[in-house]
């Protein structure tokens, strides 16, 4: 009998601070697995953002730079240009990437920086206590949209994976979820594909990862997991929106 499933080497053996049922942990593991598979751990420089994902360095056994809120793609640009041989990825939430950091993500993507961006969309600001995010669904109640997101006042949620796929500089863009085994196995494939793009020097790759946030949604972990499939996936369709090199 041998072990067929174990913790990836690139992930530290530490319990995360994430709430029960939060998909951040799963995405951390999938990213670490991809790192192991491509053997890039030793040359990886991760760029941590602000929000629940800030403790990246606590969980990944890799070199990490911490970026100001939203600025991870600019920091990653500086890192990659100065050290083109390193494997560089950012890991950002939706407040970070789709609100305060829209300028940085769009221009890093448009320049076609040879980096990988993992964007975790849980339709809310997790760390600050569940406020409305640019990705909050219409009608969704949050601590700053107590009457539900109002489309005419707050606008509609932003679909980043599709938006970025429009840019010439983006080589790969996909949206994935891990709410059931089928989606999860696909997420694993897409994350590895995004990594492959950078490993082969084929340009900017982007993964939008749909995640639950049981605590801030006011749900138990199983209901929150259910909501990812029922409500989020219908507005944020899973799929590949750009695959330049057909990897």
* CB 27, min distance to other proteins, A: 9
Residue 218 as a binder of other proteins (CB under 8 A): the answer is no
Residue 151 as a binder of other proteins (CB under 8 A): the answer is no
Measured CA to CA, the distance from residue 94 to residue 178 in angstroms comes to 17
Rg (CA), the chain: 17
In the complex with other proteins, which residue's Cβ is closer, 21 or 93?
21
One residue of 31, 52, 64, 98 binding other proteins per CB under 8 A: 64
Residue whose C-alpha is closest to residue 171's, from 201, 195, 205: 205
One residue of 7, 39, 166, 168 binding other proteins per CB under 8 A: 7
Residue 21 as a binder of other proteins (CB under 8 A): the answer is yes
One residue of 49, 77, 121, 198 binding other proteins per CB under 8 A: 77
* CB 106, min distance to other proteins, A: 8
Measured CA to CA, the distance from residue 176 to residue 184 in angstroms comes to 8
* CB 127, min distance to other proteins, A: 12
Measured CA to CA, the distance from residue 38 to residue 196 in angstroms comes to 8
Measured CA to CA, the distance from residue 96 to residue 105 in angstroms comes to 10
In the complex with other proteins, which residue's Cβ is closer, 76 or 145?
76
Residue whose C-alpha is closest to residue 216's, from 134, 136, 156: 136
Pairing verdict, β 124-125 and 131-132: antiparallel
Site for other proteins in 88-107 (CB under 8 A): 103-104, 106-107
Measured CA to CA, the distance from residue 153 to residue 151 in angstroms comes to 6
One residue of 31, 34, 35, 45 binding other proteins per CB under 8 A: 45
Measured CA to CA, the distance from residue 159 to residue 235 in angstroms comes to 9
Which residues are registered as beta bridge partners of 47? Answer: 65, 90
**Window contacting other proteins (CB under 8 A); options: 72-80, 141-149, 157-165, 197-205:** 72-80
In the complex with other proteins, which residue's Cβ is closer, 80 or 196?
80
Task: Return the structure tokens found at 17.
Answer: 């601070």
One residue of 31, 34, 35, 48 binding other proteins per CB under 8 A: 48
Task: Return the structure tokens found at 121.
Answer: 């969309």
Site residues (CB under 8 A) for other proteins? Answer: 1-7, 11, 15-16, 18-26, 29, 41-45, 47-48, 54, 57, 61-68, 71, 74-83, 86-87, 103-104, 106-107, 111, 178, 180-181, 184-185, 188, 214, 221-222, 225
């Amino acid at each position: 009998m041998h072990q067929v499933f174990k913790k990836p080497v690139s992930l530290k053996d530490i319990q995360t601070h994430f709430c029960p049922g939060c998909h951040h942990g799963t995405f951390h593991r999938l990213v670490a697995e991809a790192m192991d598979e491509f053997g890039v751990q030793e040359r990886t420089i991760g760029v941590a953002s602000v929000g629940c994902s800030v403790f990246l360095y606590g969980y990944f056994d890799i070199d990490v730079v911490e970026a100001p809120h939203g600025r991870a793609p600019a920091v990653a640009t500086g890192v990659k240009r100065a050290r083109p041989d390193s494997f560089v990825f950012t890991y950002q939430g939706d407040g970070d990437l789709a609100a305060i950091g829209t300028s940085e993500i769009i221009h890093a993507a448009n320049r076609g920086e040879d980096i990988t961006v993992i964007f975790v969309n849980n339709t809310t600001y997790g760390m600050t206590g569940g406020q409305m995010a640019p990705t909050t669904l219409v009608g969704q109640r949050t601590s700053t949209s107590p009457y539900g997101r109002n489309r005419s006042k707050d606008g509609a949620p932003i679909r980043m994976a599709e938006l970025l796929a429009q840019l010439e500089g983006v080589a790969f863009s996909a949206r994935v979820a891990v709410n059931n085994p089928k989606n999860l196995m696909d997420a694993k494939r897409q994350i590895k594909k995004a990594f492959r793009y950078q490993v082969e020097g084929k340009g900017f790759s982007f993964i939008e990862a749909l995640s639950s946030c049981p605590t801030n949604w006011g749900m138990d972990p199983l209901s929150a997991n259910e909501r990812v499939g029922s409500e989020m996936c219908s507005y944020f369709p899973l799929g590949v929106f750009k695959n330049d090199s057909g990897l």
